[in-house]
Structure 1
Amino acid sequence: MTPTPQSNTLLQDLSRRRLLRAVGFSTVGAAGAGVLSACSGGDSANSGTTRFTGVFDFDLDSQTRNVHVEDGALLLNSVYKDLFLCTGAVFNWSTHEWDYLLLEGHEWDGDNLVVSLRPDLKWSDGSDLNADDMVRSYAMRVLEAPSWGTGFPQVQDLEKLDELSVRLGFEDPFPNIERSILKHRIVSKITYDGFGERALEMVNDGVRQGDDEHLEWNAEFIEFNPDSIICSGPYRFDEAQMSDARITLVRNEDGYQGTEVKFDEVVIHKGDNRQSALLVQQGEIDYSTLAPSAADQQAFQSVEGFRWIEHAGYDGCGIMFNHRAKPEVQDVRVRKALAYVLDGDQIGQVARGEAYTRVTHYAGLADRQAEEIFTAQELEGFETFDQDQDRAAELLEEAGWTKEDGKWYLPDGDEASFEVIGVAGWGDFELTATQVEEAWNDFGIRTVARNVPQDNPWGIWGAGDFEVAVRHWGNPEQPDYWGAFEMNFMTENAGTEDSPGQGFDLQVESPSQGEVDLAELVDVARRAETEEEQLEALKTMSIVFNELLPRIPIWTYKYLAPAVEGVRVEEFPTDTPTSQNEQYQDNHIILALIQGELSPVED
């Protein structure tokens, strides 16, 4: 298996979480004031219209209406996308079951996946939403899917069975390979009339990404920018109420749940992390998933009706080493020592305020996931890395390091030193990098922190242009446990000349597990035919992660979304069957809105 099967898609998606500018409430600038003046009071007009309000940093001019491309399309990087362009289904991260939206169901018939739509669905232009839309949308995605992905790249052929059903033929499918298909956003066959049918013919003729026929098709497709977005969800765009300051979605009665949603309109104000926090403080926003600074979190407490909505975290922030650039970290004792120097609680509080949780088990999985596959007794055997500088010094000395005049030296006599990179504009990454710098310096290891530009840190990480990088661990995109290990071990670890990344050898010697091929184990966990086989692979990888610590987990994301009750929204649900869903993938608040479970304040 290729060492970085999900890297590009995963990392682009993670860029959407660029998380926080750590700016205090006292630093209101002209940009923030402009947003407030543009938006303030706008939701009180036409009092008979019920509105739900949110915020996202959209750009009407630069973002395309070609919603099939997703990245760079208008609002497709926001949680509000499900309101106007529904997925086939939403995954329940707690029960690992599906809640169907546009789809009525799916079933396997041997190596064939049969996917069926709900009957009587319509697009916002009044046309029928049927199997033609579905099969052509699937074909375009298959044509574009890189070979290292999961789901669409493994589709061999496509067939429309009837007006509501499509067959997708696979070769050697494995459990949950259908996830990307069920979560795919079907697009209008009319909008994509010039592309969908051609894509279907090419896919069934064996054409795939990178082939000459695909390149010719793609040259036209990337330039395609329709005038409007045809919607399938309970809301559609109101072109007359779209401006640089706000977008208004109005009820789409022909769409899925269009007559069931309780709000007539959804208004999305324009704002980045800082501006969104100001809008919450002004009472303009009912719910925001943009990340506020620690100072803004405190300021929210004075907002009448304010409450936090917590979304479960399945990934976190930590340290990724470059084993080629700094050979000293190839010694596991050094990696563990560097972990013991750090105070994860302090770093998390400074970087995220209330929006973090500490790491307890260091199993490579979010603690909630580790506790699902291990017993409490088994987890007691895991090494924890709470700050212990005496233990850190002991490990470095065992590794042959020496300390003189307050400075640590490598076994060859050179002074130990590291450069730690954060990402400019990602406030939690910036603050984590500076705190690691301070902690290691105080311990006697010369450390310098700097930030790389936010436009392409993934390229820097993948190319190995770093010594130590603040980087994610775990996986917020993939509900299956193996996704965390794909991220931890294999992302930015291609090992090629052009993309050496971490340079961490995936053929390892584990003190308790012996010789282990981590790439092979990730594939075993992904393709396992039985739960027992998968569980064995997962447990082995968790144990190896804890023993060898290829990355240092420092803190875990706790996604706290500010919300305001009693102004436009009566109240938000506190505990729903989907409340453990990941915030950006299967947001339970947006699902509650779609299902008519959120109600406006009564006059």
Structure 2
Amino acid sequence: MTSTPRQNAFLHDLSRRRLLRAVGFGSAGAAGAGLLSACAGGDAADGAPTRFNGVFDFDLDAQTRNVHTEDGALLLNSVYKDLFLCTGAMFNWATGEWEHLLLEGHEWDGDDLLVTLEPELRWSDGEGLDADDMLYSYAMRILEAPPWGSGFPQVQEIEKIDDLTVRLGFEDPFDNIERSILKHRIVSKITYADLGERALNLVREGIRQGDVEHTEWNAEYIEFSPEEIVCSGPYKFDEARMSDARITLVRNEDGYQGTEVNFDEVVVHKGDNRQSALLVQQGEVDYSTLAPSAADQQAFQEVEGFTWIEHAGYDGVGLMFNYAAKPELEDVRVRKALARVLDGDQIGRVARGEGYHRVEYYTGLVDRQAEEIMSAQELAGLETYEQDLQKAEELLEEAGWSKEGGSWLLPDGSAAEFEIIGVAGWNDFELTATQVEEAWNGFGISTTARNVPEDNPWGIWGAGDFEVAVRHWGNPERPDHWGAFQMNFLTENDPGGEAPGQSFELQVESPSQGEVDLEELVEAAQRGRTEEERTEALRTMMTVFNELLPRIPLWGYTYLSPAVEGVRVESFDQDHPADRNEQYQDNHVMLQLIQGDLRPVQD
């Protein structure tokens, strides 16, 4: 099936969901044992290079070295990507300020964005890093960018100003439109010479994604497979020490911060969730972002030097409805009743152990973001949906449902029944689905839970091949609050289209706001001319979400990353200025390593 813009808007975030496959203690088997024996010892001898150890489930054979594609490229779905292929800048999610990396700075000149590189940087192959690298990298992304995106799709002109500066001309730019440009990973002009030059010419001719010329270019771009990754960051790949068990990165002294980082090497061990947990327990890994099970979380407490690194969560897991498949869900009283049957706090605890937070406000935003938009008084006036079985019964009876022999019947007398889908291998999704199944069945609503294959749940969600789905709400991809409502309302939602998804109509009647068009409000929150206009659109959507509950938020993510101090790393900063960053987008531990704030244990 061809993906739609709404279906894809959250896809990049979901690629990382493949990591969340926590399994039981007994399943590591020979693979886990072999992994541990392969990396036991080896870096504690006198005079050995200082080493920072991580873990990620890479695949040397299957993953490409075409790093400009990002998804599917070697280590580009890991946090370690920032160490060898830096972004232009990292964003501080708490302060809204930029920490420039490869870029010396950026500034707006009317509708033009000027981006300037740090001087005297070199690629790991010895070539100088300059504006031509930016020009090719930006042109390829402009050509590839889907029109519904934010940033590159709105670039109308691209021009080299001098050896270090590129001008990007926008038409009608809006607040934070530069984010995707500053976050973009610049790639080598030598590696991408032909593709980059052709992309630049096509962009200047007005060619964009979907045009015939783009399709022809894209066919070559997808198949492009360079033999090595040319690096811009403080580390580069040691080709002689790359194996199925580990990847070793060594200093790239001419790269960004190459002489400032304190570790000579970064070793990334191969391991899935279970294997990474075993490595942490063996003291072989200093920091891991892979998801540990609740049992593993407890076992970590016995590891000498163990500590948690907490990363703020900006999304959560809940229930997405298919209104076309189950029209009884169009009655808001039914949705609210179904929510009142569930104990989201308990569901989160079972699904995630300590790695979750309860939902307080039910606004479509995570609570920390809701508190940035609404006052305490406004938040106190919102409806909450904590478990209340008596209230759930009252709501269903008001909606015309009736109970017979302990089972609920719809207004037409037919039995109320739902199928809820989780995702096989996504442990927190599976556990959430089975708990909802148990709760609704116990309440008298016949419910069956099943898991869909993990290789393409997005296609299933987008096609509307479900009745109720365990699905995300909120958005970890964007610090801009409108991204959460793009996810909640627009992603996988094209009523009557080829990919209907939720089939939730976007023109709604709100008890307090009257008739509102949610699609227009998302655009106003993104593109509004003033902060007041954008905030008002957000406040309206928060209120509407709370009143109509189009999907049920059950719990929010708190990302707990296990770390070990005193073995190779002296200590981690537990109060870092960027510690509210999302861990996969602007990881503050990687920022500490890059900036030389992480130090090895001294003998």
How high is the TM-score relative to the length of structure 1? 0.98
Q: How does 1:335-354 map to 2 (within 5 A)?
A: 335-354=335-354
Q: Compute the RMSD of aligned alpha carbons.
A: 1.2
Residue number in structure 1 paired with 2:423: 423
What's the secondary structure of 1:17's corresponding residue? helix
Residue number in structure 2 paired with 1:556: 556
Q: How does 1:124-163 map to 2 (within 5 A)?
A: 124-163=124-163
Q: How does 1:218-257 map to 2 (within 5 A)?
A: 218-257=218-257
Whether the 8 Å contact between 2:489 and 2:518 is mirrored in structure 1 is yes
Q: In the aligned structure 2, how far is the partner of 1:308 from the partner of 1:6? A: 35
What's the secondary structure of 1:115's corresponding residue? strand
Residue number in structure 2 paired with 1:62: 62
Residues 4-34 of structure 1: CA distance to partner in whole angstroms, max 9, x if unpaired?
Answer: 7554152233221335334333544222112
Residues 302-344 of structure 1: CA distance to partner in whole angstroms, max 9, x if unpaired?
Answer: 0000010000000000000000000000000000000000011
Amino acid in structure 1 at the alignment position of 2:380: E
Q: In the aligned structure 1, how far is the partner of 2:105 from the partner of 2:543? A: 38
Q: In the aligned structure 2, how far is the partner of 1:19 from the partner of 1:53? A: 18
Amino acid in structure 1 at the alignment position of 2:142: V
Residue number in structure 1 paired with 2:207: 207
What's the secondary structure of 1:18's corresponding residue? helix
Q: How does 1:393-404 map to 2 (within 5 A)?
A: 393-404=393-404
Q: How does 1:178-217 map to 2 (within 5 A)?
A: 178-217=178-217
Q: How many angstroms does 1:78 deviate by?
A: 0.3
Q: How does 1:39-78 map to 2 (within 5 A)?
A: 39-44=39-44, 47-78=47-78
Q: In the aligned structure 1, how far is the partner of 2:490 from the partner of 2:148? A: 12
Whether the 8 Å contact between 2:9 and 2:487 is mirrored in structure 1 is no
Q: In the aligned structure 1, how far is the partner of 2:247 from the partner of 2:261? A: 18
Residue number in structure 2 paired with 1:432: 432
Residue number in structure 2 paired with 1:84: 84
Amino acid in structure 2 at the alignment position of 1:51: R
What's the secondary structure of 1:77's corresponding residue? coil
What's the secondary structure of 2:286's corresponding residue? coil
Whether the 8 Å contact between 2:234 and 2:253 is mirrored in structure 1 is yes
Q: In the aligned structure 2, how far is the partner of 1:72 from the partner of 1:18? A: 12
What's the secondary structure of 2:18's corresponding residue? coil
Confirm or deny that 1:411 pairs with 2:406.
Answer: no
What's the secondary structure of 1:268's corresponding residue? strand
Amino acid in structure 2 at the alignment position of 1:142: I
C-alpha change, 1:462 and 1:551, in structure 2 (3 Å) is same
Whether the 8 Å contact between 1:4 and 1:148 is mirrored in structure 2 is no
Residue number in structure 2 paired with 1:479: 479
Whether the 8 Å contact between 1:524 and 1:537 is mirrored in structure 2 is yes
Whether the 8 Å contact between 1:4 and 1:493 is mirrored in structure 2 is no
Which runs of no fewer than 5 residues in structure 2 stay unpaired? none
Residue number in structure 1 paired with 2:175: 175
Q: In the aligned structure 2, how far is the partner of 1:157 from the partner of 1:147? A: 15
Q: In the aligned structure 2, how far is the partner of 1:270 from the partner of 1:231? A: 21
What's the secondary structure of 2:462's corresponding residue? helix
Aligned residues: 601
C-alpha change, 1:146 and 1:314, in structure 2 (3 Å) is same
What's the secondary structure of 2:67's corresponding residue? coil
Amino acid in structure 1 at the alignment position of 2:90: V
Whether the 8 Å contact between 2:94 and 2:580 is mirrored in structure 1 is yes
Residue number in structure 2 paired with 1:494: 494
Amino acid in structure 2 at the alignment position of 1:253: E
Whether the 8 Å contact between 1:6 and 1:149 is mirrored in structure 2 is no
Q: In the aligned structure 1, how far is the partner of 2:41 from the partner of 2:286? A: 14
Residue number in structure 1 paired with 2:105: 105
Q: In the aligned structure 2, how far is the partner of 1:201 from the partner of 1:26? A: 56
Q: In the aligned structure 1, how far is the partner of 2:26 from the partner of 2:301? A: 15
C-alpha change, 1:48 and 1:261, in structure 2 (3 Å) is same
Q: In the aligned structure 1, how far is the partner of 2:203 from the partner of 2:15? A: 30
C-alpha change, 1:177 and 1:551, in structure 2 (3 Å) is same
Residue number in structure 2 paired with 1:36: 36
Which runs of no fewer than 5 residues in structure 1 stay unpaired? none
Amino acid in structure 2 at the alignment position of 1:259: T
| More deviation, 215-224/163-172 | 215-224
Residues 326-374 of structure 1: CA distance to partner in whole angstroms, max 9, x if unpaired?
Answer: 0000000000000000011110011000000000000110000001111
Q: How many angstroms does 1:47 deviate by?
A: 4.4
C-alpha change, 1:19 and 1:346, in structure 2 (3 Å) is farther
Amino acid in structure 2 at the alignment position of 1:331: D
What's the secondary structure of 2:174's corresponding residue? coil
Q: In the aligned structure 1, how far is the partner of 2:414 from the partner of 2:19? A: 37
Q: How does 1:519-534 map to 2 (within 5 A)?
A: 519-534=519-534
Q: How many angstroms does 1:415 deviate by?
A: 0.4
Q: In the aligned structure 2, how far is the partner of 1:28 from the partner of 1:61? A: 22
Residue number in structure 2 paired with 1:384: 384
Q: In the aligned structure 1, how far is the partner of 2:469 from the partner of 2:46? A: 51
Whether the 8 Å contact between 2:318 and 2:473 is mirrored in structure 1 is yes
Amino acid in structure 2 at the alignment position of 1:84: F
Residue number in structure 2 paired with 1:504: 504
Residue number in structure 2 paired with 1:308: 308
Q: In the aligned structure 2, how far is the partner of 1:9 from the partner of 1:523? A: 14
Residue number in structure 2 paired with 1:269: 269
Q: In the aligned structure 1, how far is the partner of 2:562 from the partner of 2:515? A: 47
Q: In the aligned structure 2, how far is the partner of 1:63 from the partner of 1:16? A: 15
Where do 4+ consecutive residues of structure 1 move more than 6 Å?
A: none
Amino acid in structure 1 at the alignment position of 2:52: F
Whether the 8 Å contact between 1:422 and 1:433 is mirrored in structure 2 is yes
Amino acid in structure 1 at the alignment position of 2:136: R
What's the secondary structure of 1:134's corresponding residue? helix
Whether the 8 Å contact between 1:79 and 1:590 is mirrored in structure 2 is yes
C-alpha change, 1:4 and 1:174, in structure 2 (3 Å) is farther
Q: In the aligned structure 2, how far is the partner of 1:17 from the partner of 1:211? A: 32
C-alpha change, 1:165 and 1:297, in structure 2 (3 Å) is same
Q: In the aligned structure 2, how far is the partner of 1:462 from the partner of 1:6? A: 8
Q: In the aligned structure 2, how far is the partner of 1:408 from the partner of 1:83? A: 56
Q: How many angstroms does 1:241 deviate by?
A: 0.7
Amino acid in structure 1 at the alignment position of 2:133: D
Amino acid in structure 2 at the alignment position of 1:374: M
Q: In the aligned structure 1, how far is the partner of 2:34 from the partner of 2:19? A: 22
Q: In the aligned structure 2, how far is the partner of 1:132 from the partner of 1:23? A: 47
Amino acid in structure 2 at the alignment position of 1:420: I
Amino acid in structure 2 at the alignment position of 1:580: R
Q: How many angstroms does 1:496 deviate by?
A: 3.9
C-alpha change, 1:74 and 1:443, in structure 2 (3 Å) is same
What's the secondary structure of 1:337's corresponding residue? helix
Q: In the aligned structure 2, how far is the partner of 1:74 from the partner of 1:19? A: 15
Q: How many angstroms does 1:494 deviate by?
A: 1.8
Residue number in structure 1 paired with 2:536: 536
Q: In the aligned structure 1, how far is the partner of 2:47 from the partner of 2:77? A: 30
Residues 392-415 of structure 1: CA distance to partner in whole angstroms, max 9, x if unpaired?
Answer: 011000000001111000000000
Residue number in structure 1 paired with 2:591: 591
C-alpha change, 1:5 and 1:303, in structure 2 (3 Å) is same
Amino acid in structure 1 at the alignment position of 2:376: A
Q: In the aligned structure 2, how far is the partner of 1:156 from the partner of 1:575? A: 41
Q: In the aligned structure 1, how far is the partner of 2:195 from the partner of 2:216? A: 11
Residue number in structure 1 paired with 2:118: 118
Q: In the aligned structure 2, how far is the partner of 1:425 from the partner of 1:585? A: 23
Q: How many angstroms does 1:74 deviate by?
A: 0.3
Residue number in structure 1 paired with 2:17: 17
Residue number in structure 2 paired with 1:369: 369
Q: In the aligned structure 2, how far is the partner of 1:123 from the partner of 1:55? A: 25
Whether the 8 Å contact between 2:6 and 2:493 is mirrored in structure 1 is no
Q: In the aligned structure 2, how far is the partner of 1:557 from the partner of 1:119? A: 39
Residue number in structure 1 paired with 2:299: 299
C-alpha change, 1:421 and 1:51, in structure 2 (3 Å) is same
Amino acid in structure 2 at the alignment position of 1:600: P
Whether the 8 Å contact between 1:23 and 1:295 is mirrored in structure 2 is no
Q: In the aligned structure 2, how far is the partner of 1:19 from the partner of 1:212? A: 36
State percent identity of aligned pairs: 76
